[in-house]
C-alpha cells in the first residue's frame, strides 16, 4: 500500500528540520555510527555515485527520487549502492534483481528499519507497514490477509458496486468536483470494508481526516534527522522535559487509540450480538483468539488499514481520469466493449468481469503507467548477503524503484510512456500471461516478497468496478481555456499528498454518455442505498 521512500526529500528536510547545533550533533552521530558499525567487506560494494564524507549521498536526493534513481540505473546498473547518512542502502532497478532478493531471499529481506518515534511511540508498534519482521508482523499480516485475500474480497462486491454507483451519480451531478467525489468514494469504500459503515457523505469524515493527519505525522517523524533519538536510542531515557518528542508522541497515541477503539467496539458489539456482516473488524473479532491480539491491538490493526486504502485508491483514479482525458481512443474502445457486453439498460457488475478484458487491462495499465508509490517503502536486510559478487551487509536499506521497473522497455516496449492497455492483451483481445516477477499483476506497484500489498485483490476489484461504472455513464474530454484555446496537459506533472503521488490539478469536461445514463444511475443508487440501510 503502497509513496516515495521515507528518505525522499532528505536533502532539504535535514537542513529544514534541524538547527545548526542539531546538524552538528547529527554529523557526530553519523560519524560515530559509521565507526562503531564498520565491518570488513566480504565483497565489493554495488556501484553508485560518489558522496560526501559522513552524510554520503543524502544531498543528491530530490523530491522525485524515482527519476534520480532511474538515471543512476543507466549509469551504474540494475543495483545501485548508496550511503544515506551512514546507512548502507541499495536501490533495485530491475525485475530480476528485485525478485532475486525480495522474493527468492525474502527470509532475510523482509524487515523494516527501526522507527522509534513514528512506529514505536506514535503507533505503539502497531502500524503494519512499519512493523519489524517477526512474530507480531506475521500475526498482523495474517489477520489482514484473512479479511482481504482473494476469496474474502468477493464479500465486498455489493458495497463496491454501491460506492461506484454513488461515485458516478456525484460526478454526473457536479462534474467539476470529480476529484472530491473520488476521494469520498475511496474513503467510504475502505470505511465500509473495515467497519461495515454506510456510504459517507464526503472525504472529510472525522475518522478519515484523523487517519490522514496521523499519516502526515508519521511521514514527518520518520524523516532522517527529524529526531536524534533515531541515531542515539539512549536519548529516550531522558526525562520528558528534555525529550520533548516523548510527551508529544504519547499524547497523540492516546488520542488515536481512543478513536480507533470507539470504532472497533461499535462493530465488535454488533458482531457479538449476532449481527455479523463482512468487514475486517468482523474477521478480527471472530479470529481474534487465533491471532492472540488484545482488544487494543485489534482496534489498531483495523484503524491503520484506513490509511492504506483511502489515499492510494483516490490517487490511482485521479491518474485514470487524466489518462481518459488524454486518450480518447482508449476511452472509445473501452466503451465499445462495455456496450457489447453490458448494453445501456443496466450498469456493469462483477458478473461481467470475465467478459470485460479491456477494462481489466486498463486497471493494469493505470497502475503501471503512473504508480502512486513510485518508490516502494524500503525493506531492510537481516543478514549479511552476497549477490552477484556484491556484498550487502546486514541492516542495509533496500529500495525498489517501481518507476523504473514499470517502464522497462524490454518488458513493455519503447512506448512505455504511452497509456496503452493493449500491451496486456493477446491477439484475441484476452488478458495474456504477465512477467513472473509481477505476481500476475503486470506491474510491481504492489511490491515484492512477504511485504507485497495485502489488499491488492480488493484494490483491483475496486478499480475495476469504479472504472467500468465511470466509462459506462460518462464521456470525459479535454477542456478549453477561457479564451477558447486548447489546454496544454502535462501527464508527468504531479504532487505528493501524504504518502502518494497524484497528478497535478487539471481541468476536463465530463458529460453523460447517453441521455438515459443519469436516470439509470440515480435509480440504481437509490435502490442500492436502500438495500444497504436495511442489511
Identify any residues that bridge with 509 across adjacent strands, giving them in sequence order. 477
d(CA 262, CA 299): 8
According to DSSP, residue 102 is labeled I
Instruction: Report in angstroms the alpha-carbon separations of 453 from 377, 449, 504.
Output: 11, 9, 25
Measure the CA–CA gap between 214 and 253, rounded to whole angstroms. Answer: 9
* Burial class of residue 232 (count of CB atoms within 10 Å of its CB; 0-12, 13-18, 19+): middle
| Whole-angstrom distance, CA of residue 36 vs CA of residue 186 | 47
Taking the C-alpha atoms of residue 396 and residue 84, their distance in angstroms, rounded to an integer, is: 10
Beta carbons within 8 Å of 102's beta carbon, 6+ residues apart: 92, 109, 110, 379, 398, 400, 448, 449, 451
How far apart, in whole angstroms, are the C-alpha atoms of residue 394 and residue 396? 6
Distance CA 297, CA 204 (A): 25
- Cβ 390 vs Cβ 46: under 8 Å: yes
Largest Cα separation within the chain, whole Å, is 73
Judged by DSSP in three states, 376 sits in coil
65 within 8 A of 89, measured Cβ to Cβ: no
User: Comparing C-alpha atoms, which of 431, 270, 444 is closest to residue 423?
Assistant: 431
**Spatial separation of the C-alpha atoms in residues 526 and 518, rounded to whole Å:** 12
Q: Where are the alpha helices (DSSP H) in 348-455?
A: 357-369, 402-406, 409-412
Q: How far apart are CA 353 and CA 362, in angstroms?
A: 13
Cβ–Cβ under 8 Å, residues 317 and 187: no
Residue positions forming the annotated binding site for heme = 453
Using CA atoms, how far apart are residues 249 and 247, in angstroms rounded to an integer? Answer: 6
Q: How far is CA 318 from CA 267, 295, 336, 353, in A?
A: 31, 36, 22, 22
Residues in contact with 124: Cβ distance below 8 Å, sequence separation at least 6, in sequence order: 253, 257, 296, 300
Amino acid at each position: 500500500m503502497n509513496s516515495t521512500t521515507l528518505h525522499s526529500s532528505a536533502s532539504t528536510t535535514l537542513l529544514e528540520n534541524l538547527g545548526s547545533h542539531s546538524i552538528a550533533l547529527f554529523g557526530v552521530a553519523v560519524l560515530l555510527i559509521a565507526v562503531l558499525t564498520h565491518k570488513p567487506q566480504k565483497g565489493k560494494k554495488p556501484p553508485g555515485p560518489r558522496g560526501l564524507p559522513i552524510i554520503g549521498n543524502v544531498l543528491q536526493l530530490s523530491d522525485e527520487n524515482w527519476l534520480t534513481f532511474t538515471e543512476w540505473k543507466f549509469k551504474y546498473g540494475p543495483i545501485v549502492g548508496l550511503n544515506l547518512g551512514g546507512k548502507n542502502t541499495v536501490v533495485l532497478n530491475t525485475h530480476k534483481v528485485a525478485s532475486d532478493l525480495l522474493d527468492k531471499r525474502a527470509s532475510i529481506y523482509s524487515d523494516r528499519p527501526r522507527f522509534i518515534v513514528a512506529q514505536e511511540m506514535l503507533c505503539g508498534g502497531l502500524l503494519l507497514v512499519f512493523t519489524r519482521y517477526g512474530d507480531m508482523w506475521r500475526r498482523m499480516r495474517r489477520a489482514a490477509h484473512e479479511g482481504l485475500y482473494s476469496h474474502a474480497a468477493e464479500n465486498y462486491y455489493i458495497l463496491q458496486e454501491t460506492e461506484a454507483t454513488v461515485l458516478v451519480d456525484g460526478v454526473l451531478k457536479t462534474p467539476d468536483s470529480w476529484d472530491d467525489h473520488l476521494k469520498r468514494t475511496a474513503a467510504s469504500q475502505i470505511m465500509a470494508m473495515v467497519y461495515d459503515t454506510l456510504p459517507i457523505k464526503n472525504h472529510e469524515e472525522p475518522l478519515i481526516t484523523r487517519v490522514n493527519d496521523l499519516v502526515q505525522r508519521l511521514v514527518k517523524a520518520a524523516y532522517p534527522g527529524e529526531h536524534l533519538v533515531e541515531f542515539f536510542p539512549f536519548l529516550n531515557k531522558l526525562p520528558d522535559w528534555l525529550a520533548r518528542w516523548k510527551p508529544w508522541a504519547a499524547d497523540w497515541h492516546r488520542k488515536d487509540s481512543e478513536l480507533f477503539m470507539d470504532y472497533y467496539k461499535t462493530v465488535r458489539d454488533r458482531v457479538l450480538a449476532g449481527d455479523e456482516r463482512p468487514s475486517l473488524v468482523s474477521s478480527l473479532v471472530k479470529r481474534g483468539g487465533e491471532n492472540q491480539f488484545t482488544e487494543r491491538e485489534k482496534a489498531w490493526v483495523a484503524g491503520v488499514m484506513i490509511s492504506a486504502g483511502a489515499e492510494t485508491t483516490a490517487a490511482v483514479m485521479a491518474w485514470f481520469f487524466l489518462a481518459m482525458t488524454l486518450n480518447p481512443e482508449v476511452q472509445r474502445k473501452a466503451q465499445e466493449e462495455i456496450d457489447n457486453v453490458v448494453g445501456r439498460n443496466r450498469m456493469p457488475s462483477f458478473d461481467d468481469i470475465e467478459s470485460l478484458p479491456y477494462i481489466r487491462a486498463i486497471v493494469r495499465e493505470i497502475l503501471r503507467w503512473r504508480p502512486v508509490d513510485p518508490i516502494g517503502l524500503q525493506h531492510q536486510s537481516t543478514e549479511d548477503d552476497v549477490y552477484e559478487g556484491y556484498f550487502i551487509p546486514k541492516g542495509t536499506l533496500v529500495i525498489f524503484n517501481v518507476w523504473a521497473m514499470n517502464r522497462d522497455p524490454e518488458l513493455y516496449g519503447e512506448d512505455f510512456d504511452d497509456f496503452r492497455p493493449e500491451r496486456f492483451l493477446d491477439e484475441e483481445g484476452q488478458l495474456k500471461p504477465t512477467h513472473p516477477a509481477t505476481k500476475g499483476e503486470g506491474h510491481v506497484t504492489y511490491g515484492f516478497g512477504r511485504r507485497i500489498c495485502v489488499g491488492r485483490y480488493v484494490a483491483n476489484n475496486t478499480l475495476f468496478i469504479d472504472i467500468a461504472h465511470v466509462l459506462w455513464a460518462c464521456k470525459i474530454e479535454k477542456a478549453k481555456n477561457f479564451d477558447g484555446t486548447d489546454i496544454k496537459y502535462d501527464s508527468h506533472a504531479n504532487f505528493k499528498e501524504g504518502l502518494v503521488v497524484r497528478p497535478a490539478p487539471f481541468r476536463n469536461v465530463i458529460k453523460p454518455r447517453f441521455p438515459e445514463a443519469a436516470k439509470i444511475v440515480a435509480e440504481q443508487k437509490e435502490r442500492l442505498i436502500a438495500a444497504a440501510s436495511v442489511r
